Amino acid sequence: MSDPTPEPTPESTPESTQQRTVITFGTFDVFHVGHLKVIQRASELGDRLVVGVSADALNLRKKGREPVFSEGERMAIVSALKPVDAVFLEESLEQKRDYILEHGADVLVMGDDWAGRFDEFRDVCEVVYLPRTPAISTTALIEKISGTS
């Protein structure tokens, strides 16, 4: 007599129903195609994309200047993008681990200009560094627009 319990299929296993969450961070000031490409590529690494947008005060601390667009405007722009499922305000670089855990991230995606800087989080998630879009920089754009380059 055969066992009436069917074998689990890949579609019915609990692992297959779990969403793979990807998290990334950025200032996303003067939004350009390089920003769009990193968001699109990050979204391809999972089922759900969560984006931390740097607070105005954080941007001032790390870049030494105020962003052109306010944190609220930048969050609105990023949240309107099709690949983005959730947006939150990143207030501190020192809280990256907390943000990863809070959002249940399986993958942390950063630009390769940060290569190696976030390897410490490999104990809680996969860490991926994506190549930046060549010849595109928010700082360069701001300088070009303001005529300071």
Q: Quick: pLDDT tens for 2-39.
A: 445 445 444 444 455 689 999 999 999 988 888 999 99
What is the end-to-end Cα distance of the chain in Å, rounded? 81
pLDDT at residue 50, rounded to an integer: 98
pTM for the structure as a whole: 0.80
At 136 the pLDDT is 60
User: How many angstroms separate the Cα of 39 from the Cα of each of 48, 58, 65, 109?
Assistant: 11, 20, 24, 9
Can you give the pLDDT at residue 137?
58
Which pLDDT score, from 0 to 100, does residue 8 have?
Answer: 46
pLDDT of residue 130: 93
Residue 114 or residue 45, greater confidence? 45
Quick one: which of 125, 75, 71 has its CA closest to 97? 125
pLDDT in tens, 69-107: 999 999 999 999 999 999 999 999 999 999 999 999 999
